[in-house]
Amino acid sequence: MGNKLYVGNLPFSVTDESLREMFTQVGQVESAKVITDRVTGRSKGFGFVEMSTGQEAADAIAKFNGVDWAGRSLAVNEARPMAPREGGGGGRRYGGGDRGGGRQRW
């Protein structure tokens, strides 16, 4: 088992620090991050916690998965690697490429 955990269904009031404090009950927390919206800065309701060892991560899943926190039932499991994103690149869609102009040539 890996050391990185996904924590879902978080109350929107949870901060990185409060997430860290909760998980220190089962071991040493290497990092704790609540994911926020880039524009508003508001929590998206999930985050990631990295524990020191795989055993501590397993203990955290056993202790916190399904636990109620401020009226929300937490979902805690091993984090999966992020899937590659599709698309990207520029082209004409966002102002790149040839803008034309002048006379059309057929």
* CB 57 within 8 Å of CB 20: no
Q: How does pLDDT run across 61-104, given as a tens digit for each residue?
A: 999 999 999 999 999 999 988 888 887 655 555 555 555 556 66
Element (H, E) at 5: strand 4-8
Q: Where are the domains of the chain?
A: 4-78
Q: How does pLDDT run across 19-73, given as a tens digit for each residue?
A: 999 999 999 999 999 999 999 999 999 999 999 999 999 999 999 999 999 999 9
- The residue written with tokens 């991560």 in the block is 57
At 81 the pLDDT is: 85
Domain 4-78 CATH class label: alpha beta
* CB 44 within 8 Å of CB 9: no
At 35 the pLDDT is: 97
- When pLDDT is averaged across residues 6-18 and rounded to a whole number, the result is 97
- The residue written with tokens 């949870």 in the block is 14
At 77 the pLDDT is: 97
**Other CB atoms within 10 Å distance of the CB of residue 28:** 11
